[in-house]
Amino acid sequence: MTYTQHITETTALIEAKSGTWDGISAEAVANRIGTRRPLLREGGVEAWEKLVEARREIYERLATRSWDTSSRPIDDIASEVAEWIRPETEQAQL
């Protein structure tokens, strides 16, 4: 499978479901992850920013809802996402 085919297939799968865009600032990425991820270890936060910017249009287009995760506790965001997705999950179980 080519990269383009993979992206097309993945996009179709995401479009069929509810998706989130969980944004985060570069500063928060640097504080949370440091250099534990290969992308950051090799290219720093600048590499992360470049990657996100290249993908932003896709992320925003596919997102049904978005959260900024830069400064809020992850547990709070996870609870909000779970509450938001619950009706869809319950409907799928019927």
Domain boundaries, the chain: 11-93
CA distances to 8, 19, 54, 62, 83 from 14, rounded to whole Å, are 10, 7, 18, 7, 19
pLDDT at 64: 87
pLDDT at 50: 92
Its pTM stands at: 0.66
Q: What is the DSSP string of 42-54?
A: HHHHHHHHHHHHH
CATH number of the structural domain 11-93: 3.40.50.300
Averaged in consecutive runs of 10 residues, what is the pLDDT profile of the chain (94 residues)?
Answer: 87 81 90 82 89 90 90 93 82 66
Q: Which two tokens stand for residue 81?
A: 């996402």
pLDDT at 59: 86
pLDDT at 89: 67
pLDDT at 15: 80
